[in-house]
Structure formats: C-alpha cells, structure tokens
Amino acid sequence: MSYSFQRTATSPALAWESHGSGPAVVFVHGVGGNRSNWQDQIEGLSDHFQVVVLDLRGYGDSESIPGELQFNDFARDVLTVMDELKLSQAHLVGLSMGGLVVQAVYAMAPERVSSLVLAACRPGDAPVAEGEKFARDRLGPLDQPQPLEALADSLLPKLMGPSTPAHIVARLRDSLLRLRINDYRKIVAVRTSMAPLLKLADIQVPTLVMGGRNDALAPPEQMQALARGVANSELEMFENCGHFLNIEQAEAFNRRLRSFLQGVAANA
C-alpha cells in the first residue's frame, strides 16, 4: 500500500506523512531505509495515535543532502517535521540508525520528547563500534557493476531472522535498492565517525528498548546494556527475530509499542 506525502518548505525539502489522530508518535528509519519501512505501524497504530513518518534528508522522497553532512542534521530533520505539524512534543521511535537519531533529538531538544523507543540500535554514549568493518560492509559492494543489488545481496542475510518470510525479505530488498549512492556514502562516513551524543543516564523520559534475539547488528547483549544505562527503562526482546523488528514481527512490535505508549499516558 502506498500513501500520499507532503514536503516541508525547507532546504532540503523533507517528505512526511501523518495518519490518524491522538498522541503524536514520530517514526525514524535506519541507514538503509525510508519512511515506507513503517507501513505496518501506520496501519496498526493510527487508530489511536497520530502516526508521523518521514524520509530523512538523502532518502526516499526527500531532497538530497546539500553539501557536508553532520549527524545532528538528521535530528534537525525530525524537529523540522514536528514544527511543520505544529507538534510541541511527540513520542519518538527509532530503529537502527533511527534510534541514534531520536537520541540526538533528545540531546538537542529534550523538551520536545514525550518518550523514546530505541529499537535495534546503538547507545548514544557509544555510537560507533567496528567502524571500519561497518563501512567496508556497506561501501564495498558499491564498487560492483550493480552496486545496490550487490549491497542488498550482501547485507540482507546478515540482517534477517532465521525464519523471515520471502515477501518480507523482498520488501527490505526494495528498501535497499532505493538508496542513492552519493548520499549513502556521506551517511556511512558520518555514521562511522560520529562522537557520543549524550549520556544514557541523562535520559529522563520513559524509554522502551527493543531488540531481536537473532540480530547480529544490534545483538541482545548490546540492547540489554543500553536498557541498563537508562533509568527505569523497559526492555523487550523478540524471539526468532533479526534486525527489522517492526517488519519481521509487526504485530508483536505494534502490540508492545501500544502497551508502552498507553502506559506513558496513564502515568503522565
């Protein structure tokens, strides 16, 4: 299913969608993604929430990255879309690199954040691990004759759970094939050299940490350590699941997210 989108009047122009009404929840995609990665959350959560999805600069239907890139530019993208929608505050959900982006938003403007959901990501106080290997895995295939196809063929087996259905693999492959090589090179360079964003102990909003038991990129030990670093956070690990929790186990992901958000509202 495809949805219509709008763009901000900023430079770069950012593509976004808003569905449903209720407490605002902003979803931020990962390094190989785009806003379509959250289709299951649009369909599963917009009955009680305002579900907002966006393409970060350089992705999807947003404009390309103008000039040099700083990682905090992605945090500014999130805040720009929130401003466009006149959202003074929102729940932020980020997966993989998106989890780092929402931590960066919190570090930049904590008053704009109602809660954080950190899925399959690194902690903001240690955002880089095995940087050379990360860059090699993601940039090496781009030297092949069909670069994006080579990238998808290389990455997908490392990211999927043990029993991921073929239609989900195809969906994630399509996401990788939509990457723009020049923008992607800039993003990987910044992603593998970024400084710490914040101290986990400084996070003062309700936080849910989620991971997959079979995720080699954000392994269970990493997610457990992240949860320990955030006071009073909740941890949810999904069995038989790889990196793309929200797609591989969409119903379970939505159910746990709904429960968390309802709990935040009840305790507000």
* 168-24-267-244 Cα dihedral, nearest 10 degrees: 20
Count of CB atoms situated within 10 Å of the CB of 51: 24
Alpha helix stretches (DSSP H) within the chain: 39-45, 72-84, 97-108, 131-139, 147-159, 166-177, 181-191, 220-229, 245-248, 250-267
What domain count does the chain have? 1
The mean pLDDT value of the chain amounts to 94
Short-list 205, 197, 201, CA closest to 228: 201
Residue 165 lies in a domain: yes
Residue 228 lies in a domain: yes
Q: What is the CATH number of the domain that holds 36?
A: 3.40.50.1820
- Strand arrangement, sheet containing 6-7: 6-7, 15-19, 50-54, 24-28, 90-95, 113-119, 207-212, 234-238
With tokens 């103008």, the residue in question is: 66
* 185-186-191-193 Cα dihedral, nearest 10 degrees: 110
Question: Which residues constitute the domain of residue 57?
Answer: 6-267
pLDDT of the residue at 131: 65
Exposure class string for 99-108: b at 16+ Cβ within 10 A, else e: bbbbbbbbbb
Residue 214 lies in a domain: yes
What is the average pLDDT across 27-37?
Answer: 96
With cut-offs at 50, 70 and 90, classify the pLDDT of residue 128.
confident
DSSP tag of 43: H
pLDDT of the residue at 139: 87
Residue 42 lies in a domain: yes
Residue 1 lies in a domain: no
| pLDDT tens, residue by residue, 53-62 | 999 999 999 9
Residue 134 to residue 32: CA distance in whole angstroms: 13
With cut-offs at 50, 70 and 90, classify the pLDDT of residue 9.
very high
pLDDT of the residue at 159: 84
121, 218 contact by CB (below 8 A): yes
Residue 230 lies in a domain: yes
Residue 257 lies in a domain: yes
Residue 240 lies in a domain: yes
What is the average pLDDT across 119-147?
Answer: 87
